[in-house]
Amino acid sequence: MEDKREENKQVIFSEDLKYMAEDFGIKNQDGVKYALNNCQEVFGYISKAHQEEISNVFQVEKKIVEVLIKLSPALKESIVEYEVICCTGSRCAKNGSMEVLKTVREELGLEFGETSEDGRIRLTSQNCFKRCGEGPNMTINGSFHHRLDKDKARNIIKEIKN
Residues in contact with ligand FES by CB under 6 A are 87, 89, 91-92, 128-129, 131-132, 135, 137
| SS3 state at 142 | coil
Could you tell me if 120 and 96 are in contact, meaning their C-beta atoms sit under 8 angstroms apart?
no
Q: Which residue is nearest to ligand FES (CB)?
A: 89
Could you tell me if 62 and 29 are in contact, meaning their C-beta atoms sit under 8 angstroms apart?
no
Q: Which is nearer to ligand FES, 10 or 137 (CB)?
A: 137
Q: How far is the CB of 127 from ligand FES (least distance, A)?
A: 7
Longest dimension (CA), the chain: 48
Q: How far is the CB of 126 from ligand FES (least distance, A)?
A: 8
Q: Which is nearer to ligand FES, 20 or 85 (CB)?
A: 85
Q: How far is the CB of 115 from ligand FES (least distance, A)?
A: 23
Could you tell me if 48 and 79 are in contact, meaning their C-beta atoms sit under 8 angstroms apart?
yes
Please count the helices (runs of H) and the strands (runs of E) in the chain.
Answer: 8, 5
CA distances from 22 to 9, 27, 131, 158 (A): 20, 11, 25, 36
Q: Which is nearer to ligand FES, 58 or 129 (CB)?
A: 129
Q: How far is the CB of 135 from ligand FES (least distance, A)?
A: 4
Q: Which is nearer to ligand FES, 82 or 129 (CB)?
A: 129
